[in-house]
Chain A
């Protein structure tokens, strides 16, 4: 009689191990991320700071450049992958992510408006950056407003037509292409510097992270994480279909609409600050699901940590691979994520059990 329970518990233990291993790796790679960069700091110099024996330069590099960047990478990775995990369940679609719903297109449009109409981008010459965005706040605000406008369109349609996954996905794709057309139209009328600024913005780049960005992200991402964890049973029920979820006592429409609102909000924050970081929201949840299964109670927290880890490692590689040139992390996430995903997809077919 107890064997089924024991088997279940041993599976739970495996899921917990995955969570803790990811947590340990996250701490480890955070230290690695702080150590590596254009100026190499060995861990000794970093630890010296904790004992008040460090030098001023090390302190400056860590405090002003590396630490906000590392922490922002973790937080943005968390935001994107948890939003993706929730969306896949809310929309009952493995391709679900805030990007599928056109949030990135909308954000890019907002950035383009800021650059072309409000003149937020200028030419600047330096070794690493050919283009400098001289008014990042304006771009961030425009990108954010624009992505929330896209979300509102989807929510309004969902309100009128009923929040079915099909309605929401199709509306999202339509709004996305509308915003993309808007961006293209703006680019057509923009000059070469402005186009360069728009394109440059759209590369997801964590180099834009400072403390202020970090704290804004904390204020949005942490509550949304708590929100998703609070809803974990609701999302589990949604995985079984709307009718089953309703018969289990879930208010499907409400869970879907609020889940989508929170998911797009935290994604929009990350995208508005850092540009488009592809792939994390879509693929990290799948990778975690391959390893620990679809139970949202474990999937959501693990996807959060794994997403943070994934983006942190990608960014550390992006900063160091052809140092001193810093690659935008958005390029790296796909280069690392796609092969990893394919390997897991192929291997999964051969193993029925995890």
Chain B
């Protein structure tokens, strides 16, 4: 089932075109990776899907409905976004941060069910032990879990993440990817921009390769072959099989 349909969408920062005539279908309940070199438009695509950047040309449809027809608040109950870096000025506690995810649902005051959902999220992501710590005093891995928690408190059908494993050590990278995998098994459509091709190959079952704002290839992990990577990244790679996984070894940059 197609969850998100992007039709002939273009986006430009002022006059610099970043995304050009994209046509993409993203299936529901899958873990989809958007990959591509720096400047290929990965983050921009995520922000366009979420409506953070206004799309002027083309359309984004969620369940066959154009996102333009949703109010901002309604959209926030359908999709949640985890930014790459969050610049907190005044940092609250972990609990307060997750409570903030209920923002689109809260009218004047929060309801008991809001707290039930927060408890659920705190349990699922194992955040109870750090619930009253301040967000800016957490390690990178913990903080990423909290930000995912805030997004989940929005009870989204679609979860968008920009480089969720950047700045994390190996263990926390695996941990975060596993969380996302589990979420997609629960039926949430998870879309992430990611640089680490091995992580993408290991966890994601759908991939979208972007090249200078255009779709280069889409499909399952088999599109991550030596030729595609070579022409997309201008890097020679060797791919080795290891159990069920393919391991991509970068060899050298092509001048």
Task: Please report A residues at the B interface, Cβ cutoff 8 Å.
Answer: 1-5, 7-8, 11, 88-89, 92-94, 233, 236-237, 239-241, 243-244, 246-251, 289, 293-295, 352-353
Contacts A8-B131, A244-B81, A244-B83 hold; do A249 and B104 have CB atoms under 8 A apart? yes
Which residues of chain A have C-beta atoms less than 8 A from B184's C-beta?
none
Q: Tell me if B132 counts as interface (CB < 8 A to partner A).
A: yes
A249 touches B73 (CB 8 A): yes
Within 8 A of A (CB), among B73-105: 73-77, 79-81, 83, 86-93, 95-97, 99-101, 103-104
Q: Tell whether, in the assembled complex, residue B132 and residue A248 are in contact, meaning their CB atoms are under 8 Å apart.
A: no
Say what secondary structure dominates the interface of chain B. Answer: mixed
CB distance from B51 to the nearest CB of A (A): 7
CB distance from A352 to the nearest CB of B (A): 6
Q: Which residues of chain A are within 8 angstroms of B71 by Cβ–Cβ distance? A: 249
**B103 & A233 in contact (Cβ 8 Å cutoff):** yes
Q: CA separation between A243 and B88, bound complex, in Å?
A: 12
Contact at A250–B128, with CB atoms within 8 Å? no
CB distance from B210 to the nearest CB of A (A): 20
* Number of CB contacts from chain A to chain B under 8 A: 111
Provide the bound-state CA to CA distance between A293 and B92, in Å.
7
Q: Does B52 reach chain A (CB closer than 8 Å)?
A: yes
Q: Taking the nearest CB of chain A, how far is it from the CB of B69, in angstroms? A: 15
Q: State in angstroms the CA–CA spacing of A249 and B80 once bound together.
A: 10
Contact A246 B103, CB 8 Å, known A4-B95, A241-B86? no
- The segment out of B119-127, B166-174, B197-205 that lies at the interface is B119-127
Per-position contact with A for B37-76: 1 when CB-CB < 8 Å, else 0? 0000000000100111000000000000000000111111
Residue of A nearest to B106 (CB): A233
Interface residues of B (CB under 8 A from A): 47, 50-52, 71-77, 79-81, 83, 86-93, 95-97, 99-101, 103-104, 106, 115, 118-119, 122-123, 127-128, 131-132, 134, 137, 154, 160
Of the candidates B88, B89, B128, the one having the most CB atoms from chain A within 10 angstroms of its own CB is B89
Minimal beta-carbon separation of A16 from chain B (angstroms)? 14
From the candidates A2, A11, A88, A240, name the one contacting B100 in the complex (CB within 8 A).
A240
Nearest chain B CB to A233 CB, angstrom units: 5
Hey, which chain A residues are within 8 Å of B122, CB to CB?
1, 4
> Do A4 and B131 contact each other (CB < 8 Å), given the known contacts A89-B90, A233-B106, A247-B52?
yes
How far apart sit A353 and B132, CA to CA, in the bound complex (Å)? 9
Tell whether, in the assembled complex, residue A93 and residue B89 are in contact, meaning their CB atoms are under 8 Å apart.
yes
Residue of B nearest to A10 (CB): B132
Q: How far apart sit A4 and B129, CA to CA, in the bound complex (Å)?
A: 8
Is the beta-carbon distance between A236 and B131 smaller than 8 angstroms?
Answer: no
- Indicate which residue in B75, B79, B80, B132 contacts A11 across the interface (CB closer than 8 Å): B132
Q: How far is the CB of B100 from chain A (nearest CB, A)?
A: 6
Q: Are B81 and A243 neighbours in the complex by a CB distance under 8 Å?
A: yes
Q: In the complex, are the beta carbons of B52 and A246 less than 8 A apart?
A: yes
Kindly state the separation between the CA atoms of A137 and B92 in the bound complex, as whole angstroms: 44
Q: Which residue of A lies closest to B135 (CB)?
A: A240
* Contact, CB under 8 Å: A248 / B134: no
Q: A5-B119, A248-B101 are in contact. Are A240 and B88 (CB under 8 A)?
A: yes
B contact residues around A7 at 8 Å (CB):
95, 131-132
Residue of A nearest to B43 (CB): A243
Q: Which of B101, B119, B134 contacts A352 (CB 8 A)?
A: B134
Query: Cβ of B131: which chain A residues have Cβ within 8 Å of it?
Result: 3-4, 7-8
Kindly state the separation between the CA atoms of A237 and B81 in the bound complex, as whole angstroms.
Answer: 13
Is B100 within 8 A of A4, CB to CB? no
